[in-house]
Amino acid sequence: MNKTVLITGATSGIGLGCARKFAANGDRLILTGRNEQRLAEISKELTEQGTQVLTLAFDVRDREKAKKYVEGLPAEWQTIDVLVNNAGLALGLEPEYEGSLDDWETMIDTNIKGLLTMTRLVVPGMVARNSGHIINIGSVAGDAAYAGGNVYCATKAAVKALTDGLRIDVADTAIRVTNLKPGLVETNFSNIRFKGDEERAKKLYTGIKPLTGDDIADVAVYAANAPEHVQIAEVLILATHQANGSVIVRK
């Protein structure tokens, strides 16, 4: 049965990979992101392939806009079967005592508060229908801190705790909750972290074949289509030569 899938941060990286993979699975998509033009381009691409797409241009940090758009969905789009909380970012690699307060606030507001906002807006409908699936994009960074990761690692540890907590809260329903924890994925993640320093971002992937957004999306689609009695609670996905958040063997 085809699903209605809402994906935040769908304009690039893992979010875009999820959009394309769920589309290939025959699902219809509600795609959110900050870049309205990019959303329109992706919508055109997927619509031409036969996918039903609705785009919503807003920042998950903006609680009022998120509420307005989600609560204002057309009636035929209001039954959301899968919520992919993907929107997130990292900024900086400074020691904690030298970090930017503004960068910290942006990460906390996006990675934690934005995820909570979307969860609060979408999950009550799932509970009322006794059906649904929440897939949160966490990170290997949530398992243990690494040098310079401090606040970003803390936000992804929060994603793990919030995912686990939600799974407990809905255990008496048929709703499933999944935490996907990617390792080194080659997206624009590092360009954002290093604020456009492409050379520095490129070095992160030197000597190792990193994961792609599509690799993570494959796991998301698998989890969403597992038999109803199967809940894929948590998956750690690493590149072959990555052992954890800080051990990477480059050849």
Tokens describing residue 177:
């909750």
Dihedral of the CA atoms 97, 98, 100, 104 (nearest 10)? -30
Dihedral of the CA atoms 136, 124, 7, 178 (nearest 10)? 20
Partners of 248 in the β-ladder: 242
Tokens describing residue 32:
């959110």
The answer to whether the CB of 61 falls within 8 A of the CB of 113 is: yes
Enzyme catalytic residues: 152
AA letter at 124: P
